[in-house]
C-alpha cells in the first residue's frame, strides 16, 4: 500500500501473523478466543458471516450486532489494510461528483458529514477547503458558485460553516500560491482518520458480540441446505476453521469479484478497479485550511495539512488490473501530482520533498463509464439468493463517507431474509472514545491535559485525537513518562502499543505505525526494528514481526 520514498520499500500488506485465538486472553480482541468458542459449541451457526475488515465490512458487522444478530467477521490481513487506509481521508459530499449528476450520492454523503462528526468527534473534524480560480481557468466562476450553492443547500448542513469568497491578495490562504490566483471560494467538509474509523467500528462491533478474526481468510464457501458452510484459514499457520452462517455478506472491496467468482465457480465482472495514489511532502503551507486544485485535464487534487509537519497531495485515477494487495505509486503518478500541485504553489513540489507515498484501489461499480475518473462512486448492494438457498449479498463500490448508510441499506436487505430484530441505531451512537459533543473537542482535550499534566502538549493532542475519551483507558493511572513503559521513539511508548495489541487487533509494527497511528512517518529504521521485536514478543510470535518493511525516514 505505501512507500517510504527514500527507502523505496513497500509495506507487505499480507504480513500475516497469528490468529487472535493464539494470543490467549491478553488480547482483548472482542468475541472470544477460538478455543473458547469451540468449548461452547463445536460449530455454531451465526446469523451473518462478513467477508472483509474494511470500513464496509466493519460498519455492517457493527450495525448488525447492535440490532441483535450474531456475526462473524473474517479479515485476511489487518483491519483497514485494503482500500480503507488508502483514501484521501475526507468525509465529503464530493463536489466533483455534481458534474457527473450523482445527486443521490452527493446528498447522502453531505448529510453524513455531520452525523459522522457527531459519532466520532475525536477522529473526525471539520475542515475548510480553499478553491482558487482565475479568469480563463478550467471552470468558470459561475459554475463553481452554482456547485457550491448546491453543496451548501442539498445536504442538511447545520453546523458546518457555509461557502464564502476570499480575496487571495489579502487572505493568508493566498500566500503560498502563485499571484495569478487572486480569488477563491472557501467551503466546508470534514477530515477523517480513515484506518482508525475502521478499527473503532471493529472495536464497537466486538463489544457488541461480533467475533472478529484478522489474518483470517475466507477460502471457501458453499451452500448446504439453508446455510453457508465457510472455511476460514489462518494466513500464517495455515490452520483452518469451519463456520456456518445463515447469510453471507461479501464486503471484500477490490477482491469482491474474486470472492463471487470463487463461490460461483466462474468469472464475473462487477467492479472496475481504479488506482489512486497520494504523495506526502514536507509541509508546503502553515494555514490549517486545505486546498482544492483544478487540473488542466479536468481532474482535481487536494493539498491537505497532514500530521502537523506534512502536506498530503492526491489523488490520481487510473485503471488497475493487478493484484490489489500489490499496488504502489508509479513514477507517472508522482510526476502528475507534483506537476499539478506546482501549477498552484509558488514553491514547486519537487521529488526531494516527498517523504512517503501510498496507493489504494477503488472497487467501483462498473457502470461502463469510459474514463476511470467518471465511473460512479455510488454503491450497489446485489443479492444472490436462489429460492430456498442461503443468501449472499455483495457490496460493490461505496465511499468511506457513506459506510454507515450503506450498512443501514444492507441491514434492510438482511432483515428481508432473516427477519427484523432491532431498529436502526447507529445515527446517534458514538464510536469508542467519541462520547462527547461534536463541538467540545477543545474542552475535552483540556480536561485530558489536566488529568495527565505530565504529557507534553503535542503528545496529549495526538493521543486525544486518536483515542478520544479512551485515551484515559490507555494511560490509566500513569503520572509520569516513566509509567508509560518502554520508549520506542518520538512519542510512542509501550502503554500505547500494548493498548493497540489488546484492544485493536494490532499484531505487527506495521499495524501500529501505519494504520493505528502514523508514527511510521517519524520513527527511524532502527526504532521500527526494535518495535517489531517487541511486538513479536508481546503477541507471542517467535518469528520476528515485520521489521524492515515500515521503516520511515526522518
Ligand X SMILES: Cc1cc2nc3c(=O)[nH]c(=O)nc-3n(C[C@H](O)[C@H](O)[C@H](O)COP(=O)(O)OP(=O)(O)OC[C@H]3O[C@@H](n4cnc5c(N)ncnc54)[C@H](O)[C@@H]3O)c2cc1C
Residues that bind ligand X in the complex, under the rule CB under 6 A:
51-57, 74-77, 81-84, 86-90, 92, 217-218, 251-255, 259, 276, 315, 360-362, 395, 398-401
Minimal distance, residue 404 CB to ligand X, in Å: 11
What whole-number distance in Å separates Cα of residue 138 and Cα of residue 308?
A: 31
Instruction: Indicate the residue among 33 and 314 with the shorter CB distance to ligand X.
Output: 314
Report how far residue 133's alpha carbon sits from residue 73's, in angstroms, rounded to the nearest whole number. 46
Contact status, residue 317 vs residue 156, Cβ threshold 8 Å: no
Q: Give 129 or 452: the residue with its C-beta nearer to ligand X.
A: 129
Residue 495 CB, nearest distance to ligand X (Å)?
27
Q: What does the alpha-carbon distance between residue 263 and residue 248 come to, in Å, rounded to a whole number? A: 11
Distances (CA, A) of 535 to 219, 336, 372, 495, 547: 28, 38, 40, 12, 10
Closer residue to ligand X in complex, CB, 313/395 = 395
Closest residue to ligand X in the complex (CB): 54
Determine how many CB atoms are found less than 10 A away from the CB of residue 99: 14
Which of 287, 83, 304, 339 minimizes the C-alpha distance to 172? 287
Q: Which is nearer to ligand X, 57 or 126 (CB)?
A: 57
Q: Which is nearer to ligand X, 312 or 463 (CB)?
A: 312
Sign, Cα dihedral of 26, 233, 80, 98: negative
From the list 553, 534, 520, the residue with the least C-alpha distance to 85 is: 520
CB of 361 to ligand X, least distance (A): 6
CA 511 to CA 505: how far, in whole Å?
8
Complex with ligand X: residue 51 or 484, whichever CB lies closer: 51
Greatest Cα pair distance, the chain, in angstroms, is 71
CB of 293 to ligand X, least distance (A): 15
- If the CB atoms of residues 86 and 468 are measured against ligand X, the closer one turns out to be 86
Shortest spacing between CB 344 and ligand X, in angstroms: 19
Least distance CB 125 / ligand X (angstroms): 14
Which of 197/466 has CB closer to ligand X?
A: 197
d(CA 176, CA 501): 41
Q: Alpha-carbon distance 213 to 76, whole Å? A: 8
Element (H, E) at 306: strand 300-306
Distance from C-alpha of 207 to C-alpha of 435, rounded to nearest angstrom = 15
Q: Which is nearer to ligand X, 105 or 536 (CB)?
A: 105
What angle (nearest 5°) sits at the alpha carbon of residue 516, between those of residues 511 and 517? 105
Least distance (Å) from ligand X to the CB of residue 349?
18
CB of 257 to ligand X, least distance (A): 10
Q: Which residue, 221 or 530, has its beta carbon nearer to ligand X? A: 221
253 versus 520: smaller Cβ distance to ligand X: 253
Taking the complex as a whole, the smallest distance from the CB of residue 510 to ligand X amounts, in Å, to 14
- Backbone phi, psi, residue 148, to 5°: -70, -30
Gap between the Cα atoms of 386 and 268, Å rounded: 18
Residue 419 C-beta: closest distance to ligand X, Å: 26
CB of 534 to ligand X, least distance (A): 25
CA 56, distance to chain mean position in Å, is 10
Query: Which helix (H) or strand (E) element contains residue 148?
Result: helix 141-153
Residue 179 to residue 498: CA distance in whole angstroms? 50
CB of 179 to ligand X, least distance (A): 30
Q: Cβ neighbours of residue 464 under 8 Å, at least 6 residues apart?
A: 122, 441, 444, 445, 448, 471
Cis preceding-peptide flag for 315 (omega within 30 of 0)? yes
Rounded Cα gap, residues 93 and 113, in angstroms: 8
Question: H or E element: which one contains 450?
Answer: helix 441-451
Task: Pick between residue 108 and residue 527 the one whose CB is nearest to ligand X.
Answer: 108
Amino acid at each position: 500500500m505505501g512507500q517510504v520514498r527514500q527507502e523505496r520499500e513497500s509495506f507487505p500488506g499480507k504480513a500475516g501473523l497469528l490468529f487472535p485465538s493464539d494470543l490467549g486472553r491478553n488480547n482483548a480482541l472482542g468475541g472470544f478466543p477460538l478455543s473458547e468458542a469451540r468449548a461452547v459449541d463445536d460449530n455454531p451457526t451465526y446469523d451473518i458471516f462478513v467477508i472483509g475488515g474494511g470500513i464496509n465490512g466493519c460498519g455492517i458487522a457493527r450495525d448488525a450486532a447492535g440490532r441483535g444478530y450474531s456475526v462473524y467477521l473474517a479479515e485476511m490481513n489487518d483491519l483497514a489494510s485494503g482500500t480503507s487506509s488508502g483514501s484521501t481521508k475526507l468525509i465529503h459530499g464530493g463536489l466533483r461528483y455534481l458534474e457527473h449528476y450523482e445527486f443521490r450520492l452527493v446528498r447522502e454523503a453531505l448529510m453524513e458529514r455531520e452525523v459522522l462528526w457527531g459519532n466520532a468527534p475525536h477522529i473526525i473534524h471539520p475542515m475548510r477547503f480553499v478553491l482558487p480560480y482565475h479568469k480563463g481557468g478550467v471552470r468558470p466562476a459561475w459554475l463553481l458558485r452554482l456547485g457550491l450553492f448546491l453543496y451548501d443547500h442539498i445536504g442538511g448542513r447545520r453546523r458546518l460553516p457555509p461557502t464564502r469568497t476570499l480575496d487571495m491578495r489579502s487572505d493568508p490562504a493566498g500566500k503560498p500560491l502563485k499571484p495569478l490566483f487572486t480569488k477563491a471560494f472557501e467551503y466546508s467538509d470534514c477530515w477523517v482518520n480513515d484506518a482508525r474509523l475502521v478499527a473503532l467500528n471493529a472495536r464497537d462491533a466486538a463489544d457488541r458480540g461480533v467475533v472478529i478474526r484478522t489474518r483470517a481468510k475466507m477460502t471457501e464457501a458453499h451452500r448446504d441446505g439453508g446455510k453457508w458452510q465457510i472455511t476460514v484459514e489462518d494466513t500464517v499457520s495455515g490452520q483452518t476453521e469451519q463456520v456456518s452462517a445463515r447469510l453471507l455478506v461479501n464486503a471484500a472491496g477490490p477482491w469482491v469479484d474474486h470472492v463471487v467468482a470463487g463461490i460461483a465457480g466462474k468469472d464475473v465482472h462487477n467492479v472496475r478497479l481504479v488506482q489512486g495514489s497520494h504523495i506526502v511532502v514536507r509541509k508546503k503551507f502553515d494555514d490549517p485550511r486545505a486546498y482544492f486544485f483544478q487540473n488542466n485535464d479536468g481532474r482535481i487534487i487536494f493539498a491537505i495539512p497532514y500530521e502537523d509537519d506534512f502536506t498530503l497531495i492526491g489523488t490520481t485515477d487510473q485503471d488497475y488490473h493487478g493484484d490489489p494487495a500489490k499496488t504502489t505509486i508509479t513514477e507517472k503518478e508522482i510526476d502528475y501530482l507534483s506537476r499539478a500541485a506546482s501549477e498552484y504553489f509558488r514553491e514547486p513540489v519537487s521529488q526531494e520533498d516527498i517523504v512517503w507515498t501510498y496507493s489504494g484501489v477503488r472497487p467501483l461499480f462498473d457502470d461502463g463509464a469510459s474514463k476511470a475518473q467518471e465511473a460512479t462512486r455510488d454503491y450497489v448492494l446485489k443479492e444472490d439468493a436462489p429460492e430456498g438457498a442461503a443468501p449472499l449479498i455483495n457490496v460493490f463500490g461505496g465511499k468511506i463517507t457513506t459506510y454507515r448508510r450503506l450498512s443501514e441499506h444492507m441491514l434492510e436487505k438482511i432483515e428481508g431474509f432473516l427477519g427484523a430484530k432491532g431498529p436502526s441505531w447507529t445515527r446517534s451512537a458514538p464510536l469508542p472514545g467519541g462520547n462527547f459533543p461534536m463541538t467540545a473537542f477543545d474542552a475535552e482535550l483540556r480536561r485530558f491535559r489536566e488529568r495527565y499534566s505530565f504529557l507534553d502538549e503535542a503528545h496529549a493532542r495526538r493521543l486525544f485525537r486518536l483515542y478520544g475519551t479512551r485515551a484515559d483507558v490507555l494511560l490509566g493511572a500513569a503520572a509520569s513518562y516513566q509509567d508509560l513503559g518502554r520508549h520506542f521513539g518520538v512519542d510512542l511508548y509501550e502503554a500505547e502499543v500494548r493498548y493497540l495489541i489488546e484492544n485493536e487487533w494490532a499484531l505487527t509494527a506495521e499495524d501500529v505505525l501505519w494504520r493505528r497511528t502514523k508514527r511510521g512517518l517519524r520513527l527511524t529504521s532502527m526504532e521500527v526494528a526494535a518495535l517489531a521485536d517487541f511486538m513479536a514478543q508481546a503477541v507471542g510470535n517467535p518469528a520476528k514481526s515485520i521489521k524492515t518493511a515500515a521503516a520511515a525516514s526522518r
